[in-house]
Structure 1
């Protein structure tokens, strides 16, 4: 997917049962992964008048929303059924692993129906993302 701020919207939805530390971890992992997987999401580096370089940031607002765990699962199902929506799920399984090798081993042995989501990033057409997430409250 190639991000266009005039056409697309990006959100991260977090399980409202997560504690603050786990929620912050989930959001940061999804943000890094989205920046890597969605072309054009992050702008170029900028430079201040006195030549300090500031890394590029996302081209559009990135609301962090809250949802029940059951609704997260439904969001993923709906998003996966739509080719215009890019999904970035983050699971309790991933959050419980101490190393990437452990994650790789455990995820390859798990059936996706048994993998509990704790957050999901969604990028797609503004209307579609709004329809999926417009009723969800902001994480405060």
Structure 2
């Protein structure tokens, strides 16, 4: 999955690795063409950082080895849990990001979509769900 609306979700560890102190993030936010348009803390241990894709291209040419240039192109990796409710005949997919601790609150985005017909099957008869028969 890629970032939505140029907002990058970072764990506290990732944020501190990229921006070691407040002056580091302010450097990315300053100048006539700021790379970072803003940032905010969510859930006490996650950060949303808004990146300017237009300014990122120019920055990448000048500083190709800066770790921040890969933020918009680095995919998020999730653990996937798929559930099927036999009572309602509904599919549920739960994506988990990072390694949450016992007191961490999840970052949730709800998106409704059917899993049927999303994966190629060898037998055409198996492509239709029991709901659409």
TM-score if structure 1 supplies the norm length?
0.30
TM-score if structure 2 supplies the norm length?
0.31
Structure with bigger helix share is 1
In our comparison, the structure showing a higher alpha carbon Rg is 2
The structure showing larger relative contact order (alpha-carbon pairs under 8 Å, at least 6 residues apart) is 1
